[in-house]
Amino acid sequence: MEDRDLDPATLTVHAGRGGSQPGDPMNVPVTFASAYRAEGAVSYAREGNPSWTAFEDAVGVLEGGSALAFASGMGAISAVLEGLPVGAAVVCPRDSYLGTRRYLAEAEERGRLRARLVDIADTEATLTACDGSALLWVESPTNPLLAIADLPALCQGAHQLGIPVVVDNTFATPLLQRPLDADADVVVHSVTKFLSGHSDVVLGVAVTRDPARLAGLAARRSLIGAIPGPMETYLALRGLRTLDVRMERAQANAGELARRLEAHPAVHLVRYPGLPDDPGHTRAAKQMRGFGAVLSLEVAGGRAAADAVCSAVRVMMSATSLGGVETTIERRGRWAGEEAIPESLLRISVGCESVEDLWNDLARALETTQ
Ligand SMILES: *Cc1c(COP(=O)(O)O)cnc(C)c1O
């Protein structure tokens, strides 16, 4: 059976297993080596490692392209952006991941790049900003406002202007959306989040179908030196094996919490594309296989009340980051650079706990604010 005939749930379990000969191990072993004996395909370990390859094979199959692992999500993101010429303009969502915006702001200060920040849900405004730019950077859903970009329309419009499109697919994962199928040129992930799934790894990946882009990114990975550790790629692949079951549970939990939160008197607004009245709902229902496991809410009592909720939760963990089996809650506005985010906004990365335990915990924490 060819890989393409298999369901993604099966691929998460079976892709990247290495050899198929009698006696081969079921998992590609972790290879700790800085150099290999001469005359082989790879001589120095900044160029390649069998543990990276196993992970890259699996992500490549899931996204429908060829993957390169990086030391972190930011390693993958900066390798893509470093490929742009000096002075190039990058169109980027105003509410994209903070690190991506910080990278662009810092590059702009040095005259290296220029950032054009847009509302990525507004296709027309985004494509207008693309005119004269060198790259369209898309995140969908965005972190943390959960805005949904029209991926096929943006890819088509940008390509008409001769501009490549990169999609940060961290929130959706390849199980919910495959941007390369919508004609995106590159997909990046913070593997740190859902793909590895256990909050014990920092890792990134970039995926493309274009051999020239792939070669360019591989060369840059080696030159910048943002290479993953073999143990990290092993752990990430081990985590990836359960991506489908984790997403199924976490996403169901997120949907249930979002519905209940909408009716809670201490909540001003819930942002979750799975809610029928969410501004991104129709688009997400059309282009995604599910609505994901991250939701945001604005607490009616404002900033202090939102902080109080984070202090009061006992099952949910008050912590940054997302995509783990455990639920994390954070007031995003506490970070410098997130001033555009409503002060009372809490981002919740919903995990795999019992939904009733999560609800009881959150409802009790919200009641402390009333
Ligand atoms: C966390 C995150 C990143 C950065 O990834 P790191 O692994 O922390 O370097 C990039 N994009 C999104 C959407 C993220 O949530």
179 lines ligand 1 (CB under 6 A): no
Q: Is 286 a catalytic residue?
A: no
Residue-level pLDDT at 338: 87
Residue-level pLDDT at 107: 98
Q: Which two tokens stand for residue 109?
A: 């200060």
349 lines ligand 1 (CB under 6 A): no
**How many domains does the chain divide into?**
2
Rounded Cα distance between 340 and 21, Å, is: 55
Give the C-alpha distances (Å, rounded to integers) separating 130 from 96, 105, 313: 16, 18, 43
**Do residue 258 and residue 117 come from a single domain?**
no
144 lines ligand 1 (CB under 6 A): no
**Do residue 284 and residue 347 come from a single domain?**
yes
Q: Using the 3D structure, point to which of 179, 210, 240 is the last residue of a domain.
A: 240
Residue-level pLDDT at 339: 86
- Which CATH number fits the domain that encloses residue 289? 3.90.1150.10
Domain that holds residue 101: 3-240
**Do residue 124 and residue 171 come from a single domain?**
yes
Q: Given 57, 95, 150, 168, which residue is catalytic? A: 168
- Ligand 1 centroid from CA 319, angstroms: 15
Q: Using the 3D structure, point to which of 203, 219, 240 is the last residue of a domain.
A: 240
- Which CATH number fits the domain that encloses residue 31? 3.40.640.10
Overall residue count recorded for the chain in this entry: 370
Which phi and psi angles does 281 have, rounded to 5°? -60, -50
**Do residue 13 and residue 119 come from a single domain?**
yes
**Do residue 227 and residue 254 come from a single domain?**
no
**Do residue 266 and residue 218 come from a single domain?**
no
59, 70, 74, 195: which to mutate for ligand 1, most atoms within 8 A of CB?
Answer: 74
Which phi and psi angles does 329 have, rounded to 5°? -130, 140
Rounded Cα distance between 232 and 222, Å, is: 17
**Dihedral sign from CA coordinates of 99, 104, 110, 116:** negative
168 lines ligand 1 (CB under 6 A): yes
95, 97, 142, 171: which to mutate for ligand 1, most atoms within 8 A of CB?
Answer: 97
pLDDT tens, per residue, the chain with 370 residues: 567 789 999 999 999 998 899 999 999 999 999 999 999 999 999 999 999 999 999 999 999 999 999 999 999 999 999 999 999 999 999 999 999 999 999 999 999 999 999 999 999 999 999 999 999 999 999 999 999 999 999 999 999 999 999 999 999 999 999 999 999 999 999 999 999 999 999 999 999 999 999 999 999 999 999 999 999 999 999 999 999 999 999 999 999 999 999 999 999 999 999 999 999 999 999 999 999 999 999 999 999 999 999 999 999 999 999 999 999 999 999 998 888 899 999 999 999 999 999 999 999 999 999 8
Which phi and psi angles does 68 have, rounded to 5°? -130, 125
Q: Is 193 a catalytic residue?
A: yes
3-state secondary structure 296-335: EEEECCHHHHHHHHHHHCCCCEECCCCCCCCCEEEEHHHC
**Do residue 62 and residue 144 come from a single domain?**
yes
- Ligand 1 centroid from CA 41, angstroms: 32
Among the atoms of ligand 1, which is closest to the Cα of residue 96?
A: 13
- Ligand 1 centroid from CA 26, angstroms: 30
**Do residue 122 and residue 149 come from a single domain?**
yes
201 lines ligand 1 (CB under 6 A): no
Checking phi first, is residue 225 left (phi over 0); if not, alpha (psi -120 to 50) or beta? left
**Do residue 211 and residue 334 come from a single domain?**
no
Q: Which two tokens stand for residue 32?
A: 């700790």
Name which of 136, 323, 299 is nearest 247 in CA terms.
323
Q: Is 46 a catalytic residue?
A: yes
208 lines ligand 1 (CB under 6 A): no
73 lines ligand 1 (CB under 6 A): yes
Among the atoms of ligand 1, which is closest to the Cα of residue 204?
A: 7
- The protein residue with its alpha carbon nearest to ligand 1, atom 6, reads 73
Among the atoms of ligand 1, which is closest to the Cα of residue 192?
A: 7
Q: Using the 3D structure, point to which of 240, 269, 284 is the last residue of a domain.
A: 240
Among the atoms of ligand 1, which is closest to the Cα of residue 74?
A: 9
Q: Given 97, 103, 234, 272, which residue is catalytic? A: 97
Name which of 164, 172, 211 is nearest 189 in CA terms.
172
**Do residue 153 and residue 77 come from a single domain?**
yes
**Do residue 69 and residue 149 come from a single domain?**
yes
193 lines ligand 1 (CB under 6 A): yes
Residue-level pLDDT at 1: 54
**Do residue 170 and residue 315 come from a single domain?**
no
149-165: burial string, b at 16+ Cβ within 10 Å, e else: bbbebbbebbbeeebbb
Angle CA 118–137–323, to nearest 5: 100
Rounded Cα distance between 169 and 63, Å, is: 10
95, 96, 103, 190: which to mutate for ligand 1, most atoms within 8 A of CB?
Answer: 190
366 lines ligand 1 (CB under 6 A): no
Residue-level pLDDT at 370: 83
H helix intervals, the chain = 8-14, 50-63, 73-82, 98-109, 123-130, 151-160, 173-176, 211-224, 230-240, 243-262, 281-287, 302-312, 355-367
